Chain A
Amino acid sequence: MKTVTNWLDQRTGYKKLMHEALFENVPGGARWRYAWGSTLVFCFTMQVVTGLFLWLAYSPGSQTAWESVYFIQHEMWGGWFLRGLHHYTAQAMTVLLVVHLLQVVIDGAYKAPREVNFWTGIVLLLLVLALSLTGYLLPWDQKGFWATQVATNIAAITPFVGPAVKTILIGGDGYGHQTLTRFFAIHAGVIPGVIIAFIVAHIWLFRKHGLTPKEPRRRPDAPFWPEQVFRDAVVCLAVFLVILFFLIRTHGADLGAPADPTEPFAAARPEWYFLFLFQLLKYFPGGTEVWGAIVLPGLLVAVLAAMPFIGNWKFGHRFNLAFLGALLGGAALLTWLAVREDAGKPDYALATTAAARDAERVVVLARGPEGIPVTGALTLLRGDALTQGPKIFAKNCASCHRFGGGDALGGTPQDAPNASDLQGFASRAWLTGLLDPARVDSAHYFGNTKLKDGKMVDFVKNQVATFTADQKAQLAKVLVALSAEAGLKAQLAADARDTALIEEGRKIIGTGTLICADCHQFRTPDANETAPDLTGYGSRAWLTAFLTDPAHKRFYGERNDKMPAFGVTKQLSPEEIGFVTDWLRGDWYEPAAKP
């Protein structure tokens, strides 16, 4: 063994290098407070290693970025852990950078002859922030997509070169494949390379000038190894445990729904440590953003960089301390304001809920038997009735109708409803309520419509109310049979079970004594029908035709109240009408329950 190490040492001189690295003098002996720099080296190394592993599976491209991150997060062995580790270590790095900076300023370690080292540190701080900014876009989810739009648009307002810089940065006029390939190259290649060069310079300069000891020195000088190395290792372990805590608690980093330039995303926010800049921008009225986004932050960094010179002045060190305190205090205040403002906004809460719902749904669809098509996961959401139905309903139907009392997206429209509540439409429960004398003219059904004074309400209130027991039994069969016309997914088992009952019910509707057929057409053509056709009531074909033209003779005809003919007027496309229909009927993909 000895011969081998000697052989290697003669050719590389590594023993001297190791000796210098390990036996660097620590003035006043090892202290816990000297460990911060080492935690940053530790975190950066973790980022390089986890980043390389993520690189094995990541595919930059508009139709593959989100999809590959989904695959890492939900399909690959331990992928969520790897990605979470990368995510939370990035956050830890930002915090540790601030702590390191604070310590350097408090201890006066920025003063001569360490100015250059202080500047390399500031460059490193900015580079790490740039890493975080570029990394945020890579999953290509709604959050990253919209938050990064803001960042690149800020680049675009830089005087003179801004628009060109933005175009070069995002690789074209808009976001796309080239944006991802560029951001990825910057995130995983350019910045890490520059950071490594600066870390080498930073540590070399640190070694050249030595550690800035905290006075008074409590103990005699000691070598770096082993006491200080041990302390560094323990602090790194503590940092790692904190990262693990967040990683396990949140089960890894968030992955939103795939980026969609056509889908509004009111919940777009940058990472929490950029929230102060985000909040700051709100105070600069149109046309003056350049001051808030570029000039002011630039000046603050300039003051930071001038600290070694300011420090020479009599009260310079105190000024520096006060400045840094004010800077961090201001950032904390702005962050708090941003969080508080969002907390008070119901719209923001709704937007985050909607974002979480889409994010969850797209994973269900991606794991479905069809998988993700080559056109990307966005295709899945855009073709999903459960995703699109409520959105179309909230925008087009909820001004009159309700769904479970709300607008189907968790909100409640301002105006009172003036049409029925469509949750469970055509189900047995829904029809039971419609034929209940106590409920038919409530706001849930016809209460706020013109039909309140119509024949149906009159029939239910005056005749059904006085039904004999036998008639009530017949009515129950009618309800089951009518609901079976819809063929609702949720009732398939019940319908299959009650075939005899349904058969009887159909006869009663068509010819029976409950006089349904007096007004309604059912199964046999009836030129004299004056109320909606009950043939296939609530089925996909029926509902689609109804939404297309409720004033058609087959439905309400001239007696139609305010319901727009969405298809005839082309307010909704056939595809959109299909989404609302499927969603109202509860017909969307659900994974089979695991045994």
Chain B
Amino acid sequence: MAQLPHPSPSPDRRSFLAQAGAVAIGGALALAAPLAGLGVLLDPLRRKSGDGGAVHVAPLAAVPEDGLPRKFNIVATRVDAWNHTPNTRIGAVYLQRPKGRPESAPTVRAFSVVCPHAGGFVDFHTEKNCYLCPIHNSTFALDGTVLDPKSPAPRGLDELEAEVRGEEIWVVFKNFRPGVKERIPV
């Protein structure tokens, strides 16, 4: 068949209509399937994480009085696409009772365990008395600010809204966008 001479397309009007029609219909049909899938592809954009209400974390007595932080799990309902799992660990926070406060008004501070640099899990280094992210070595002081100025973290640890109700600590659990100077909830 390769030996057959290829006839040239005739430039008449009929041929033009066929060309235009083929391109238009073919183009539309080629778009159909990708367009049908676009919604599913973009669906996660419209799903926002939890309502941001405060969750009970721990009794006040469980947080050391000497100002050192202690890690607590956040237990709440985890919504993962189709699954709803009540009373499950959805994250963790450091709680601490800053020293030097009057006994009558205990204030609790809560810090996210997620490093604001690249999302690593920040440890508390007892010997050095500071927070340390083991991934890129960012260090943070007890009050959450960046300790070593050479730390890659663009901002201090993310502080979460914490409240003492009676003898119990409640925290508004959130995650923040890593890698930027500003604290932007996600």
Contact = CB atoms under 8 A, between A and B. Distances in A.
A81 B36 contact: yes
Interface string B34-76: 1011111111001000000000000000000000000000000
Given A25-B1, A78-B39, A223 B85 contact: no
Contacts of B82: 67-68, 70-71, 75, 366, 371-372
A373 interface: yes
B25 A76 contact: no
B18 interface: yes
Contact of A49 (B9, B33, B81): B33
B32 interface: yes
Nearest to B78: A374
Contacts of A240: 29, 32
Interface string A55-87: 011000000000110111001111101100100
B15 A226 contact: yes
A234 B21 contact: yes
A209 interface: yes
Given A76-B43, A233-B25, A52 B1 contact: no
B102 interface: no
A225 B9 contact: yes
Given A25-B1, A233-B25, A53 B36 contact: yes
A237 B29 contact: yes
Contact of B19 (A79, A221, A226, A372): A226
Contacts of B6: 19, 23, 25, 223
Contacts of B84: 370-373
A57 B79 contact: no
A78 B36 contact: yes
Given A240-B29, A374-B85, A230 B36 contact: no
A240 B32 CA distance: 9
Given A53-B36, A374-B83, A236 B1 contact: no
A234 B6 CA distance: 24
B1 A227 contact: no
A373 B4 CA distance: 66
Interface size class of B (residues with CB under 8 A): 20 to 34
A208 B32 CA distance: 31
B33 A56 contact: no
B36 A42 contact: no
A30 B25 CA distance: 17
B166 interface: no
Contacts of B19: 225-226, 230
A77 B79 contact: no
A396 interface: no
A170 B25 CA distance: 42
Interface in A15-71: 19, 23, 25, 42, 45-46, 49-50, 52-54, 56-57, 67-68, 70-71
A229 interface: yes
A210 interface: yes
A75 B40 CA distance: 10
Given A234-B21, A237-B25, A240-B29, A82 B9 contact: no
A25 B22 contact: no
B13 to A, nearest CB: 12
A253 interface: no
A78 B18 CA distance: 33
A77 B42 contact: yes
Contacts of B22: 225-226, 229-230, 232-233
Contact of A82 (B8, B36, B86): B36
A67 B1 contact: no
A207 B40 contact: no
Contacts of A49: 33-34, 37
B33 A207 contact: no
A222 interface: yes
Nearest to A89: B33
B18 A77 contact: no
Contacts of A85: 32-33, 36
B36 A50 contact: yes
A511 to B, nearest CB: 48
B142 to A, nearest CB: 38
B125 to A, nearest CB: 35
Contacts of A374: 83, 85
B29 A42 contact: yes
Contacts of B185: none
Contacts of A207: 1
Interface of A: 19, 23, 25, 42, 45-46, 49-50, 52-54, 56-57, 67-68, 70-72, 75-79, 81-82, 85, 207-210, 220-223, 225-227, 229-230, 232-234, 236-237, 240, 366, 370-374
23 contacts: A19-B6, A46-B32, A49-B33, A53-B41, A54-B40, A76-B39, A76-B40, A77-B43, A78-B36, A79-B40, A82-B36, A85-B33, A210-B1, A210-B4, A221-B4, A222-B7, A225-B9, A226-B22, A229-B26, A234-B25, A236-B25, A236-B26, A373-B85
Interface of B: 1, 4, 6-9, 15, 18-19, 21-22, 25-26, 28-29, 32-34, 36-43, 46, 79, 81-86
